[in-house]
Structure 1
């Protein structure tokens, strides 16, 4: 160190003024002087070459005698040759004379510095990135981050550094010139020249610095949840007042937006339940559960065609109702989220809870009187009713958002962890990576608060609001997230719509999108038409060719012709295509009573447009000779001079083109539902006694004490009354292990009745029987994993739990530790020993021998064995293809789950759960009179309200069925339509589905393996003239009439060079089987062509067998091109966005396209018969009781005889082997 540093060192060492260090070992010590040269050095200065930057000046401090150097380690002054060397790589001192090997040469410590034998070789030291090795590498290098404010610390070391003229980038590895430095935004790096959009400003990266345009941007205020606010200027706060408040108000009274907050929790938290907008004399009311109310009139049908009243446009986009005006835009999710965007022309001219919009959030806490106060004081001052009590203390404890709600804390933490958890399966991960921890913590705490405190029956809704708010934030930074799923805030789409995380804010409709507000950019979440469809006037997605046309508020179907003015127009693709009429035709077609004819163009316009102060004729003759006053008392004169019928004045809907007929009106509309006593608000009857105050601040008449007597419909069995009479809840809330009543009475005296399900012991919770003893606790009290003893037909997993024997070694992991697929039995091939106390399902096998072994369990060296032999044969050689029958009976079979929003033409069997959340139709081509099941579902059901079964019945393995009408049923709380109900079809519980699905799983997987082992008898041709074509040429068949091909999926479906697949059945094969191997397989390019695959007969006799297991659970078989023929892929999860024209049997399926016919046609086989003869040989005191037959599910039973001479403690094993005559599934086993 220099003398200035030495002086500081003395001071730090607490030496008295004027007194310096003394050495205990007798070496030279420092002495104090008022003038010490700054160019006297320490040992460390020798190593760092500090003399290169020495400024010789006089300083007070401690100094070493001349020609000595301060050694900080010994705190003494020593000669240069005594100075140690500091090795930065090991952070240790090397004594003088010691050697050190550095990268490529030996170095010796001398006078505080390393002297190396080959100093040039150090330049070859491998440095990260494009750095170089240097003896004078700065310890505080210049980087892209500090390049503007860089200050050199003048300390150096030997090591890696940037070449001259370059600086380190953010990764600390790469060196670039300063003008190549990347810029940072939202945790991302941008190179020079790249642009981003910040609000409305374009920003360009240049040399690590953003240069942005300086336009005044629109700004958005947000109010969500319980409620949490973000002002126009970005101040974030929460406020729990119970009143009506000015959310945003323009100072010149052009518009105001009021928010009503009412209680939604037992501890005083409130939620925004009503928004009232006052704009240019019109009133717009947004009430939860109702359509938009404009001037007291409830609007309808604004989802597909916006309602435009003067300068106000009302329309739907995704989950949001949107109110658009030239001054502001409001997005409301019809619950407790509202986004208010005010345009930049009002900057600095706003007030209310959303702040003043002046780009400075420090003054957003000013009260209505302009006084700077606290958040509570500011918010209290914006009440619209002075009778409301002021909030005295905000309820949010940022340190513990769940304080006082311990029973909800764990649930809330688990659900809200999506916001900042970085687990591999968190859908929000891409967004989390771009947000700083402060933002994430704010969203997380708000989510915890809402989930814990919103406890009046709407907890899940409050949670979903928090997660949706976070998802909207992700959308705003350009990272849309598909975060919803059937068990977490599901969203059901109907009318052919599909869910999108980022759909167009102005969706295209058959009427176009040329209405006010659709210059808006950005996207919103919700249900939208797919890219190839448009929304018609009924809100249904249709092809453009089916779009209707609109004129004068009337709908005209495609192909309609109308006369419009001097034009004849034909409706095509949603719009009129017009041609001009002759003058004579035009004059003949103008209505004398309702239309005015322009003088020059002869165009006809509505007579009400005449003299309305707006030019509508091209020659402006519609405003000639006008007296702007209505002629009689039955007319109303608009401000623009237009005359309308007096009955239209103050009817709630603007009829004047300038909207002046609805200004300064007082509206009185009769209430046909529940009239609130104080606020006089009219709310739906269904809101009464629902546990949530909806009448508004100061009026709780919808939740009055007489709820129990007057409004809670107990007789219907659909509702439950809390003991304190404060809440009337859906019956589904009773005994659901969740406190919904304030007094907890909904969870008292719960005697669970779980129909066809397992009832947890200490809590009222029903779970699927398949989840009991599976090694994973599903009950809250974990009693589903107690006392688990597997039956003889089950396998005990190492992690606990039982699985059906048919699931052992089936290629799919069922046990939590995977031991059902690593079990020693799984290595069995043909003629392999399998130990078991019994064996089953040998009906498909030629049995060669059976034997027993008896051994002492405690002394493995002592073994006594006896062998019993049985011989027999089955009578059918083709019984293994019994699985083909299922593909002939069903259009679609899933061994696991089905998730679909599309149609299945014929019968469907789902051996897992049905997860459809959107429109789907089943059996659309079955006979209308069918009454046998068209849709069979083994486990849970979750689908949209528009699910339809066109023909036949529906079967489920458990639950309850309620018949609403012959064509409508409620199954486990889900509505579905049965079109054939009038013919005798129904919805019913079929408890045999478990057994059926086990059999189907076994048969389908066995069938696939059987086909894979058939010898190929045909070849594939790639014509020289068509190098992109693959032709399956059938010239041979086997004895059963089968044409067999064997290829890999890479050669066929995944081969990007194959653009055409064709089959030529020259030998008239009964069925063409194409076996495809490979652990990954998808069909995303090319086409299946030719008369065979495009004909019904050909598709019904073509079977694609993809028989191997995928390489991992995450690998799906994606089908994006039309697939022709039956698909057998029992181990694959299949995702489709194109049709499958044939039967399909797969593991899981996510279908976004149709499953069409025909079903598979396959040769039938005689069912196997019992063996006609067998022999048995016993050589020990044990004898076997012979079975009556050897076929499916027959057990060979053994009984001991004269066992007294046998070892006292024994275990019995059968040794079973089978021949390779038929490749069937091995017998199930159990020790």
Structure 2
């Protein structure tokens, strides 16, 4: 049931008797007419679409231009923090040395440059001098008019190939064209290059800088603020800093002028600088890696034309986990920006330097018009598609995770694993990883060492949010819509979400559930209003696919629970599935977990490794069905560890042996030998596997495994090669003809005439014999036989 529209700024709701009432939105919120939701006023026009109305008709505001970074006295510490103006607030923190009996150094007078306001903060314990902040002064300066084009005598002004520079974002903004000054007569003596005010001089070719009349360009300096006038407190000397910073305003620092006290200790003479110049590789150049104010320069290598790898400390949230997260329409970039984009046929992340790998999301539609999305991972010209059903397409064939793990076991370029309801692709050659779940949510990581080398819809990774909307051509997008369009690729047409009024009302009813118990314990960590808009779109699209309301609600709310438990692991959400009727059925031996934090499950392959085999995922959650405590994963099933049979010994050919510890050797004696048995000093063995070596050819002479005998309890099983190229099976000297055979102590399976497998389940022994290559395989569980076997197969440890 839907009520008629209310008055301006009012929200309708239903009474207990299905009556309609209108009430004003709470203070600090504003009504979203499209979905009847009161949204915080601070979320309107903030660049993130929280409801269909909050980013409509928003005024365009220019990106604030901040004054240059101030510098504190040499014995002060400069600290910065974000502010609502967009420009950081800087604090000069005095030293915290406790008072001594010596004469304290006089405190300089607090001074901030022009363009900053002085603000005192409380002094900390043992601090000698006042602490103060230099806060940027808000500016509304309009851009100055374009100056006339001027060139010195002997030069003539010409238009450059570039289009110039634009002040502002609208069509009526000030346009100042760039121009270049070319010498009228190359043989004449020309004055040095000179450009008018608000233009900077750029030598077109660094090789011609020593020419008598070098060609140069006058490029507009784009700024909407005035550089602060450099100044230092009394008793301090101003020194300019020269570095690679492209800021408009010159950096400087203030050095305290001190007079050394009289002392009997001679002042040591500084040691001469030891200049060590590195040998750079092809495509690299030398640069000074330490500050130019240091007495001795240090040099390193970097890519030609690229900024050096940053060594500055990043915020804790970036250092902790550099990941791009895509949950529905919500993008969290590598640098932490939050964007609202509908992903469909887009490049998510790619190698910016060499284009050796990229990750994209693609749309694929069938003949009936039904569409699905899949994740495409390309590395070194090999293509892998991660499908919604968690299968993988490789070389145009579809595989399950288990199948591709077997196929790629000898491939060192990538690994694939499944964790709960998600599949993870790990590149071994480029070190990135991709995680994709059944709800088509994506995580991309492993780019910590790839600053300035990765960009896409996940942002330009520089540890700086300001350049996240970098387009493929290197320019910044003005809007999120322009940014998304710039990274579009070819693919089947994507259907726009057209949520009809009835589905929108249902979606709101299902999504608003997160505002009640037990989800209130998450509200201080995951803001409901920000989640709600994505939930509405997700549920609406889910309903249009023909799924039930319960399925759509559980899918969306499950994502909110996952985000909550990542932010607050101790949140009390145990009863959320009962409250929302979101029941999940798992297979035998499995239990459902909302937040599984290990990087992998315990499996038959890693059961003997320590806890480091599956380290914690750094707080990240994966939901789904996992093996119950005490069980391990074996293919698609959960089994006790003793059913793994992960110890494997093999023999084949001339004959060659591969021991339980994977040691290779050749042993071609003519006799019967114990391949494997349990260790028992008294000779009372639970089992023995004996191989028979016989001559299988005279010219050249070859020795082969012609039979395998299993001794268990009072029983004997013989697997032997017959003259007609088939395997003969004798159990307690009785011939076995029909397969499979299931006895109370033995199971026999014949895969074909040339291969037979025998399994004794009570001791978890499996033996396979094949006459195709005169080979055999012995499998045992490590949990039962670790350090407890002997024979040609050795001891497993």
TM-score by length of 1: 0.26
TM-score (norm 2): 0.38
